[in-house]
Amino acid sequence: MIEFDHVSKVFGGSKVIDDLSLRIGEGELFVLVGPSGSGKSTLLRTINRLVPVDAGAVRIAGEDVVTRDIEALRRGIGYAIQSVGLFPHRTVAQNIATVPRLLGWNAEETRVRVEELLGLLRLDEPGMADRYPHTLSGGQQQRVGVARALAARPAIVLMDEPFGALDPLTRESLQHSLKTIQRDSGTTIVFVTHDMDEAFRLGDRVALLLDGKVAQVGTPLAFLHAPASPRVREFVGGERGRLRELAVRLVRDVVRLGETSSGHAVDIDASLQDALAAMLAQGHDALPVCEDGRVVGAVRLGDLVARPS
């Protein structure tokens, strides 16, 4: 879907992106993670040509982005940023309708889509559509920012540390919303963050960028089980990487179907971290597991600690 082909970018004499090649598949939630200055934001911004590349090519569906009309290209790609950049002189509904308006959607079509997005992003309290951005909390503003990025049903959405400025609870809630929306819509999302936990929680696949190069690309579990280099291992957290793994793996992977246990059940799609938290809270070393509200098995503490085979 998106292909970086030997892309380089120089800013002020230093190579921010260094002969980088990478493919992002259709419908993937792909996370670019790395420390500040690793080139992740710059790489993201080459996709919608906010940053022109110095060498190599960026292709979408096989087509070099430089051959596309720049405005049409950008209107076809959702864009959300950490500082949100809502238009202060426009209401929530008008902000969300920005790209549909640029694309000339009719009023009814736009209104229906805005309603739908307000619901999807849990912005459906009464009167929300007509409020101005400055009356919203940071979390609500970023929900509007995400809704605006999704408004015209783009095939690709670019997100540059969208949740970076939010408190942990709000961030987690937005991550959850995003993951759900992405799974249901099949949108390809390229997501930039410097937060490894966020990368692993969200990403179908993750690329770790160091000094403008891809240090490793793969699923979160691949990072944890087979770091490509000592530096990658360091970023993943060394020994503590095992703790991260609990957040990535699901109860579904270790459930013992048919067994039972006492205590309050955990959901089969909860993470092992959630299961461990529930065990600690309840003081049990095993808990029942439910799927669609029915108990289907149990999970044991030993299974959380054991290395996956």
Partner 1 sequence: MRILIPLAVLVALVVGLPQAASVFHAWFPAVSHPVYVRTSFVMLTAAHVMLVAVATTLAVVIGLALGVFATRPAGRSLLPTVRAVAVVGQTFPPVAVLAIAVPLLGFGAAPTLLALVLYGVLPVLGQTIAGLDNVPAASLDAADGMGFGRWRRLLDVELPQAAGPIVAGVRLSAIVSVGTATIGSAVGATTLGSPIVEGLVGNNMAYVVQGALLVGALALTVDGLLATLERRLKLPAA
Given the rule CB under 8 A, which residues bind partner 1? 48, 50, 70-77, 79, 81, 83-89, 98-99, 102, 132-134, 145, 148, 158
Q: Is the Cβ–Cβ distance between 157 and 147 less than 8 Å?
A: no
Within a 13 Å sphere around the CA of 20, how many CA atoms are in the beta-carbon half?
34
Q: What is the DSSP letter of 52?
A: -
Query: CA 309, 199, 33: angle at the middle one, nearest 5?
Result: 115
Query: At closest approach, how far in Å is the CB of 55 from partner 1?
Result: 23
Nearer to partner 1, 145 or 227 (CB): 145
Nearer to partner 1, 85 or 218 (CB): 85
Nearer to partner 1, 48 or 140 (CB): 48
Residue 202 burial (CB count, 10 A): 24
Cα–Cα distance between 59 and 1 in angstroms, integer?
8
Query: At closest approach, how far in Å is the CB of 133 from partner 1?
Result: 7
Query: At closest approach, how far in Å is the CB of 161 from partner 1?
Result: 12
Q: Is the Cβ–Cβ distance between 49 and 74 less than 8 Å?
A: yes
Nearer to partner 1, 154 or 288 (CB): 154
Query: At closest approach, how far in Å is the CB of 75 from partner 1?
Result: 4
DSSP, collapsed to helix, strand or coil, labels residue 32 as: strand
- Residues in Cβ contact with 183 at an 8 Å cutoff, skipping those fewer than 6 apart: none
Nearer to partner 1, 150 or 217 (CB): 150
Bridge partners, residue 287, by sequence: 299
Nearer to partner 1, 70 or 305 (CB): 70
* Angle between helices 138-150 and 107-120 in degrees, nearest 10: 130
Query: At closest approach, how far in Å is the CB of 196 from partner 1?
Result: 25
DSSP, collapsed to helix, strand or coil, labels residue 234 as: helix
Cα–Cα distance between 30 and 202 in angstroms, integer?
8
Nearer to partner 1, 58 or 84 (CB): 84
Q: Is the Cβ–Cβ distance between 237 and 196 less than 8 Å?
A: yes
* Side chain identity, residue 83: S
Query: At closest approach, how far in Å is the CB of 98 from partner 1?
Result: 6
* Angle between helices 168-185 and 138-150 in degrees, nearest 10: 20
Query: At closest approach, how far in Å is the CB of 101 from partner 1?
Result: 9
Query: At closest approach, how far in Å is the CB of 135 from partner 1?
Result: 8
Nearer to partner 1, 34 or 145 (CB): 145
